[in-house]
């Protein structure tokens, strides 16, 4: 597997130098921003996006509320499972970080001593993005866009090869989609049971405001009264 790290005419390494070369030409403050975004910021953004999608699904309600919330619950579970699957993959491939075998890289994050293939960050963000897409396409497209940006940041920071990122994207997507049918088959009935709960049901669907149903009946309730008043007047 060491051949993956060799340079020469390897387009993987060439693209690594091209993208990481942008860091050399960028001002120091921009590199610090990219370091924070690539290491923590986009993971936080993905978590907030999942919460926002849940809030939107909950407010919208309808018959699709429970399946959509089940898909949202599956998204972080799939991301965690994909990271666990990556543990034996890393141990089998044993690909060193790019800065170990290649000189002249501008490495923005120190202390990376584990193997490089595949990228955990790319795996997690793409798994969340695809999981969001299963629940809601609009939020899913935004999540996949953030995942692509995460992959770019990891190469920009000099801590991953482009193929590490592509492998992470593939792993995250495969775990979400391949295991989605049995996962949703288990989670959807659970979310429907939660939905029927007087208290916990608000986690799945927003309850109507007290008195809202009564207000909608007021016009029809007035009709008999108005007819009775006309009869009395006559």
**Secondary structure letter of residue 200 according to DSSP:** G
CATH of 28-205, one of 1.20.144, 1.10.3210, 3.30.1490, 2.60.40: 1.20.144
The count of residues in the chain is: 234
pLDDT recorded at residue 230 = 53
The yes-or-no verdict on residue 224 having pLDDT over 60 is: no
Distance CA 219, CA 41 (A): 52
pLDDT band at 64 (very low <50, low <70, confident <90, very high): confident
Range 99-116 average pLDDT: 88
As a whole number of angstroms, the distance between CA 58 and CA 206 comes to 6
Alpha carbons 66 and 1: distance in angstroms, whole number: 45
Beta carbons of 90 and 114 less than 8 angstroms apart: yes
Q: Where are the domains of the chain?
A: 28-205
Residue predicted with more confidence, 104 or 86: 86
Position 7 pLDDT exceeds 60: no
Of 135, 125, 119, the closest CA to residue 47 belongs to 125
SS3 43: helix
pLDDT digits (tens, 9 = 90+) for 165-192: 999 999 999 999 999 999 999 998 988 8
Span of 4-8, 37-41, 50-54, 77-81 with lowest mean pLDDT: 4-8
Is the pLDDT score of 231 beyond 80?
Answer: no
Q: Residue 86's pLDDT is what?
A: 95
Round the CA-based radius of gyration of the chain to a whole number and report it. Answer: 26
Structure tokens at 44: 């936080």
């Amino acid at each position: 597997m060491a051949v993956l790290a060799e340079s020469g005419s390897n387009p993987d390494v060439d693209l690594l130098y091209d993208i990481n070369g942008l860091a050399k030409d960028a001002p120091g403050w921009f590199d610090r921003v990219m370091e924070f975004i690539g290491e923590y910021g986009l993971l936080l953004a993905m978590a907030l996006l999942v919460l926002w999608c849940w809030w939107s699904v909950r407010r919208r309600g309808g018959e699709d509320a429970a399946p959509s919330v089940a898909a949202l619950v599956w998204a972080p579970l799939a991301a965690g499972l994909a990271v666990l699957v990556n543990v034996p993959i890393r141990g089998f491939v044993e690909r060193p970080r790019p800065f170990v075998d290649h000189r002249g890289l501008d490495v923005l994050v120190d202390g990376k001593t584990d193997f490089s293939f595949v990228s955990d960050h790319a795996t997690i963000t793409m798994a969340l993005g695809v999981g969001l897409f299963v629940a809601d396409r609009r939020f899913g497209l935004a999540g996949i866009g953030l995942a692509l940006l995460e992959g770019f940041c990891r190469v920009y920071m000099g801590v991953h090869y482009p193929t590490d990122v592509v492998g992470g994207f593939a792993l995250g997507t495969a775990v979400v989609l391949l295991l989605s049918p049995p996962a949703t088959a288990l989670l959807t009935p659970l979310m429907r049971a939660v939905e029927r709960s007087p208290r916990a049901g608000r986690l799945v669907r927003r309850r109507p405001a007290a008195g809202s149903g009564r207000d909608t009946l007021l016009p029809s309730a007035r009709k008999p009264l108005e007819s009775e008043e006309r009869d009395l007047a006559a």
